[in-house]
Amino acid sequence: MRLRDMAAPPGFDSAHEIKRVRNWLISCVAIFVFLFACVYVGRLTVVYNSMRNGGRFESMGLFPEVARSPSLVCFLPVFIGLLAMLIRNINYFRASKSYYTMRRLPNRWEYPLRCALLPVSGFLVLLVVSQLLLLLAGAAYLYITPDTWLPAGARESVLSFVLGGILA
């Protein structure tokens, strides 16, 4: 049996479930890039206008202030969707765990694996994709913004937000 066929419990269409998770992740990436660009350009505009009007200079703001709302709007719904899929599969596993069904399977761990494989894989892919997107957004924040517009501690704020304070 191919791994793709094991992505969903018996009775569910594995190809459809894989496409659903893939589309969730692709839309998550697209929405994050769009929202981060909107927030970032908005912050750049505020700084530029404050400099042009000769008023009080406002710095760009730290990276967590710029990236927090796009990351919550994008990553949280996909996480909740994957969690709902996992709960659905666990309920399906518990409800249809008949002796006959379990007896037909050659490996006794195949059924729980089929119920958990796609949601857990989706969680891992979401974690990796979110960290990569935040690193790319942090790089854009640091290297596109002029150095004089960055606040003190801007580089450390990127690392602490992306890594969660582990290495920063």
Write out pLDDT tens, residues 42-72: 999 988 888 888 777 777 889 999 998 898 8
Residue 168 lies in a domain: no
Residue 158 lies in a domain: yes
| pLDDT above 90 for 109 | no
When the pLDDT of each residue in the chain is averaged and rounded to a whole number, the result is 85
Residue 2 lies in a domain: no
Residue 99 lies in a domain: yes
7-11, 32-36, 99-103, 104-108: segment of lowest average pLDDT: 99-103
Question: Do 148 and 140 form a contact (C-beta atoms < 8 A)?
Answer: no
Closest CA to 1 of 89, 86, 102, 106: 106
Specify the DSSP class assigned to residue 59. Answer: -
Residue 3 lies in a domain: no
Question: Do 126 and 82 form a contact (C-beta atoms < 8 A)?
Answer: yes
Domain count across the chain: 1
User: What is the four-CA torsion angle of 29, 30, 33, 39, rounded to 10 degrees?
Assistant: -120
pTM above the 0.85 mark?
no
How much is the pLDDT for 141? 94
Residue 66 lies in a domain: yes
Q: How far is CA 112 from CA 84, 85, 100, 106, in A?
A: 16, 14, 15, 13
Specify the DSSP class assigned to residue 150. Answer: S
Residue 153 lies in a domain: yes
Residue 34 lies in a domain: yes
Domain that includes residue 40, residue range = 8-163
